Every structure is written in C-alpha cells, then in structure tokens.
Structure 1
Amino acid sequence: MPGLRTLHVAEAVAAISARYRPHSLMMPKGETALDFRHHAIVCEGASLNLLRYGPDVVVEAGMFDSFYMLEFPLSGGADVHYGNRRVSSRKGSGLILSPGSYVRSNWHADTTQIMLRLERSYVERAYQRFVGRPLRSTPVFAPEIDLAMLAGRRIARLIGLMVAEQLEISSSSFAAPSPAPLVNAVLETVFEHIPCTAVETASAIAGGPLPYYVHRFKAILDDTSMLGMSIGALAARIGVSQRTLTNGMRRFVGVSPHEYLTMRRMEHACMLLEHSDLSVGDIARHVGYANAGRFAATFRRYSGANPVQFGKFFRA
C-alpha cells in the first residue's frame, strides 16, 4: 500500500510527529540511517498503521493525552516505559496504552509493528454507549494483551480483515468500505475482555496517588511561558525542595524534572518550527535557551535533525 519509506531520521520524525505527536528518536548504538517504513489506513477516530524503524531506536513519545494506542509486533519487539511501569510487546503479544502516562519505547532491531491509533474522544463515546452511562468517562486499560487468548486472537483477526479489505479494494475499481465497523468491533472486544478502570476525565488518569507537587510541576509546564524557568525556580514556585521534586518525579513519573522539562521544551519547539516563521534563535529563547547553539544541539539529540531541516521538512 502507499506509504513513506526513508533512510533519513528527520523525515521519519516529521512523518510520525504529524501522525501521532511531536517526539524524539534516538539510536543508542550509533547508527545514522534508518530502514523506516510507515503505511496507514485512516478513518474517523482511528488509523491503522504499519511502522518500522530498522535499527534499535528509542522513541521518546512524551505524555500520551489525546489518544490510545494498540500495538502488535509482526517481528521483533519493544520494551516500553509506561508511566511508572515497564511493559513489553513481543510476537504473539501486544499492548494497549491509555492516555495520561509518559511513554518511552525501546524498539529492538528489525521490529515491525501494527499500531491502531484511537482518538480518546472516539473511545470515550464508544465506552459511554457500551456501559450505558449518561456521563462520558475515560477507560484506562491493563496494558498487556496475550494474542494466544480468545480476545487477543479476535482483535488480531479484525485488524487483519481491515488490511485485507484495503488491499483487495486497492487492486480493483470498487470503493473501499469504511474500516469504522471493524474498529468498533475491536473496541467492543477490548471493552468486554480487557480489564479497565474508568475515570471521570483523562487528566485524572495520571492523578491517582501522585503527590500534589508532581501534579503542580506538570501543570505549570502546560503554560509555555514557564518553559524558561530553571528546575530550582520551579521547585521554589511549587514550595518544595529541588531534591523532593526530583525524587517524586523519578518515583511517580519515571523521569527526572530536567528530562520532563526538556521534553516539554522540545515539544513546543516542534510546534513553533511547524507553524511559525520564527528564527531558530527566537524559538530557542521562546523555549528557555539563551544560546541558540545549545538549543540546536539539544533539539538534534531529541529529534535526530537540526531545527532548520526539521522546520523545512515539516512545513513541506
């Protein structure tokens, strides 16, 4: 099926940032080229994707907030840092990642995955219909799915049918049927067989037992005007010591305050590079870097491309 194939990190990051969310891509073994492939079937509220990077990569996806992700390896596998948990997918197993948690994925070499991206609002409405409640809530699912179980096999068959129909139609003159009924069948299977907890809002997913100062730190950085503050200044603003904030973030979120702040800075930088005509120096200052060279080096580590290349490709 039509899709993107490239060896270039910047092209891969731009494509997946557009499809999913701004993110970083690192190759821990020092490779400089990918064997990247991405193909997608899109319908209302969902997209079914085949994704491959090639070498070992670390995908820093940041905070999942607006979508769910079901992922099933066709080959290889991934170890995923999911909130304060570590989960894995291998051939014969899969994951369903719910909104509200920080996600970092370690893809092993030669991993190819089928990934079903579901808009949070679409899932919430479907769950509302499924349980028959008048108020919308956000289901948070147990993340690991065994494809040897009946429910897992059914999900795999439904996804396979989506692909088969698209391939059949692509070689004929008939209009492709909407994948939406099959997506809804996947959701019903998930609702019926995957353990979940419903919360009132997606923002409450990450709530749970988190200390107030961790909530406050994350909430402050939702305001992009705060991205220029240091960790010490942010801790003082919240009313805790920098050590307390560091220990809380590492324990409950799984990353240090500096790592989280850098992620939010780079996310905002990606948005500015995509949607504005600001210079690299101006963007550096907007996200808290007095030195444009230091910003460019951090952005290169985060995305695999320098800011100028990234902005040009994303706008193109």
Structure 2
Amino acid sequence: MIAVTGATGQLGHLVIQALLKTTPPASIIAAVRRPEAAADLAALGVTVRHADYSKPETLDTAFAGVDKLLLISSSEIGQRVPQHQAVIDAAAKAGVKLLAYTSILRADKSELGLGAEHKATEAALKASGLNVVLLRHGWYSENYAGSIPMALEHGALIGSAKEGRVSAATRADYAEAAAAVLTSPEDQAGKVYELAGDTGFTMSELAAEVAHQSGKPVVYVDMPKADYEQALIGAGLPAPIAGMLADSDVGVSAGWLYDDSRTLSSLIGRPTTPIAQTVAATLSS
C-alpha cells in the first residue's frame, strides 16, 4: 500500500494521478485533511483516509497497513516541524517500510529561510529509525505564473534575484518523480534526490520570454529585498508569504535554487517542462 499525504493539494493530487498510471487504485491511499474534498479520488477507487498533521490522533488510522508513505511538506510555514514530527511518529508506529519526504533543494546546506524547517524535518527523519528517501525540490514554475498578468499590466517583472539562475520545473514534473521513486523496484532507502528543472533561467530571461510570447513590452526590474517584500504586500500577499518570497528571490541571486544535475529528468525519463511552456499556458488561460 502506498499512501500520499496532502493528496487533495496541488502537488499531492498530481502524485496520485501519476501513481494511477502504473498502480492499481486499491493499492493507493489518499491521506487528506478533508476527506469530503477527495470525492473524485474515491470515485477512481483510491482509498481516502482522514489525516490531519495537526491532529495526531487521525494519523494512526490513516497509516495502518501502509508500506510506503509520501510525506508532502505542510503548507503551514512556521508549523511544519511539529506537524511533520507527528507524521514521522505515526509512520514509525505503523511500521511504514519507506517514507519519502518532499524537502527543498540542498536542504542540508541551504541558506534560504524556507530551508530551516526542511532541515529540521530531515534531522527528525534521520533520528526516527525509518527508512527514508529525500526528494529535495527546487522551485515550482507555477510560482511565476501568478506574476505574469501584473507584469503585462505594468510592463515589468519585479524581484530581488539579480541575475541569479533558477532551475524551475512544474509540479507535474516533481509529482512524476515522486511516483517513480515510490513504485521503483530498487531499494530507495537512504537515497537523496536533488530535483530541479533541466535548464536554469534568470528573471531577465523570464521577462523576455513573457514579452516574446505576449507581444507586449516586459522588462525585469531588480530591487532591494525590503522594497520587493513591500511590493508583494501591496499586491495583497500576507506579510509572512511576502517575506518568504522576497527571501527566496535573494536566495536565487546566491544560487540556492539552481541545479544542473538533471536528476529530475533522469527520474521521470523525459526532459522537464520548459518555463516557456508555463508562460504559454498562463497566457492562454
């Protein structure tokens, strides 16, 4: 049995879809906070179980009989460490044979603020005695999709990344990699995968791609971290999210979200989705 936490989330749902290509639905468990939101998965024959990171009492039942578990990192920044610990404890209690965790690129060394909770979770996993495989994710291409309409409106894409390169891939790319690891006949225990897009790009190159495809003038405007953070807040983002995005942009300038190993494309057996395709999908939506 393979269980996926956060299975109704953007990444989790894609992992379930990827698993269904090779795995009988009866062998898949969607562990979700709101079972009623997983009706579409249940209709496909996937077993749906209640699993709330913040309610440890739900996890024992959710993980009963599970052989392999994908722990998708919580979306609640600041609460991830205790939430992930609850999942780890329940997995150990249930006798899970392999736990895969969606961490961040080079979590053991990363200076990104976003990396601290991932590093702490990796330490907890190491201390748990469980067989663990780390899926360290780079940036999602979709992170840039939301900024494209505003860039078109103002003729500028803003950020604090300078000319740093980011190796982004789509959530579907990362989801296929998770499914490949979870269904691999090879022993995955102890492996660490640094996963990222095949080809890095700068924000100037992203702005040029948006301009090319839209036929409208768009340039990249770099600004100090504090100014970018305030601009994001002014655009309606909550302050903690704005702070995280600004910090991550500075991290791009330092190379923390760049990787040229092509480990992700090797896992999924095809090139990762180019950023130009994400731009095209955003412009056509």
Q: Which protein shows a greater Rg?
A: 1
TM-score with structure 2 setting the length = 0.30
TM-score with structure 1 setting the length = 0.28
